[in-house]
Structure 1
Amino acid sequence: MQDLEIFPFYKNLTKDEKMEFEGLLRPMAEKKGTIIHYQGDSCNNSLLLVKGSIRLYSQADNFSNEVTLYKLKEGEQCLSNMITVVENTSAIPSAVTETDVKGYYVNRELIEEFIKKVPSYQDFMFSLYAQKVVDLTTAVQTTKFKNLDDQIMDYLHCQGEKKIKITHNELAKNMHTSRTVITRVLKKLKKEKKVALFRGVIEILM
């Protein structure tokens, strides 16, 4: 399977390991905005993401607020549901697709076997853990120590485009605040000529 080459460990597998690995994969494809799982759900398989982006987030008990924990990107395995699968526990965060996505589900038995026996998979998982710790730390620092104006501008610049297709509600979820607050701050940034606002689009001006 050529699309599996996006995962660093795959190209280091032996022919027999590749056959075993591919034989136990279950393809998945979902549209943008699909809930993959809710916090508290039981997960029977872990996701290897080939295409797209998935947001992992935690919600308050009354579901009034949510906090983005990290993003699952192409060529990554979902650590959250992997832990849920291996430890047979409930999912800590919820997961929603930010784009159309494609990938493969892998079961508990294969995960446990590869963790024990395949060095390249071990390296892949340790590297992924390290990166997500950095992502979580950055998210906490940004939320705790930066004002919302700077947080929003940083987020917009990180999207890699001058015009970002995003609603105020979507931005509010990513910034861990309310839509009303986001709208107020965006109007301020517009007045300062830092952004231009259109329906469903924010353009960076500086």
Structure 2
Amino acid sequence: MLDLLRESFGHLFEDELLQEIDHVGTFKEINEGDQLIEIGTYVKSMPLLISGAIKVLREDEDGDELLLYFLERGHTCAMTLSCCLGQTKSEIRAIAETQAQLIMIPIQKMEEWTSKYKSWRNFVFNSYHQRLNEMLETIDDIAFKKMDERLLKYLKEKARVTNGQIIYNTHQEIAYDLHTSRVVVSRLLKTLENLGKIELQRNHIKLIDV
């Protein structure tokens, strides 16, 4: 596990901290679609992402979801940090977008390392800053961008985090992530296909010119 830590976090953390993480952390592998964190549950540990991608979602009063951001290698979740430090229930849902490897850090160590290691403190603050900017960008998209622009951006981001030009989500799953209806998504996808930007197949979407 130490070699994986050095590969993903060696540029951020000193070796002493990496060895502590290796000693107290728990290695975890999750498959695509697996749930890592559920809304309303207490978070007992903080994830450090070694590989893969995790999508973080918010839910409204009607149970409809909205994609906030993706977590990738070398990231952690600011919302998880808040829950761990405040010992409050999670307000987000985290689901594996791809197969992923994580190291789970016990919450007891987080405060200790914040005072003990400057690199850990900087990592926590930078994580808050990055995730906050991503959430503000999501708010801006909802407030100022048309749905076709949001959909195209979503497809590009999905292709980037999965390292491929094929999107395997159904129209309904995309609608959930964008907090809209399947009918709207299907109509806009058809428009994108007519423009030559994507190719619609029975079980997937192929990106051509995005």
Q: TM-score, normalised by structure 2?
A: 0.88
Q: Which residue of 2 aligns with 1:172?
A: 175
State the partner residue of 2:5: 4
Residues 84-95 of structure 1 mapped to structure 2, 5 A cutoff: 84-95=83-94
Segment drifting more, 196-205 vs 155-164: 155-164
Contact 1:47-1:106 at 8 Å conserved across structures: yes
Residues 138-157 of structure 1: pairs in structure 2 closer than 5 A:
138-157=137-156
1:50 maps to a residue whose letter is: I
Do the aligned partners of 1:66 and 1:173 also contact (CA within 8 Å) in 2? yes
State the Cα distance separating 1:90 from its structure 2 match: 0.4
Q: How far 1:193 sits from its partner (Å)?
A: 3.2
**Per the alignment, in what secondary structure is the counterpart of residue 196 of structure 2?**
coil
Q: Distance in 2 between matches of 1:119 and 1:53?
A: 27
1:130 match: 129
Structure 1 residue 200: deviation in Å?
2.5
Name the counterpart of 1:182. 185
Is the aligned partner of 1:195 residue 2:198? yes
**Partners of 1:115 and 1:152 in 2: how far apart?**
39
Identity of aligned residues (%): 25
Following TM superposition, by how much is the alpha carbon of 1:192 offset from its aligned partner in structure 2, in angstroms? 3.3
Change (3 A) 1:193 1:19: closer
C-alpha deviation, 1:81, in angstroms = 1.9
Residue 105 of structure 2 corresponds to residue 106 of structure 1 = yes
Equivalent in the alignment of 1:45: 45
Q: Unaligned regions of 5+ residues in structure 1, if any?
A: none
Alpha-carbon distance change, 106 to 92 in structure 1, aligned in 2, over 3 angstroms: same
- Structure 2 counterpart of 1:57, which letter? L
Tell me whether 89-98 or 179-188 shows the greater mean CA deviation.
179-188
Q: TM-score, normalised by structure 1?
A: 0.89
The equivalent of 1:32 in structure 2 is 32
Unaligned runs of 5+ in 2: none
Matched, 1:13 2:15: yes
Distance 1:99 1:163, change over 3 A: closer
Query: Residue type matched to 2:49 in 1?
Result: L
RMSD over aligned Cα atoms: 1.8
> Equivalent residue for 1:74?
73
Count of matched residue pairs:
202
Secondary structure in 2 matching 1:77:
coil
Which residue number corresponds to residue 55 of structure 2? Answer: 55
Would you say the 8 A contact 1:21–1:110 is kept in 2? no
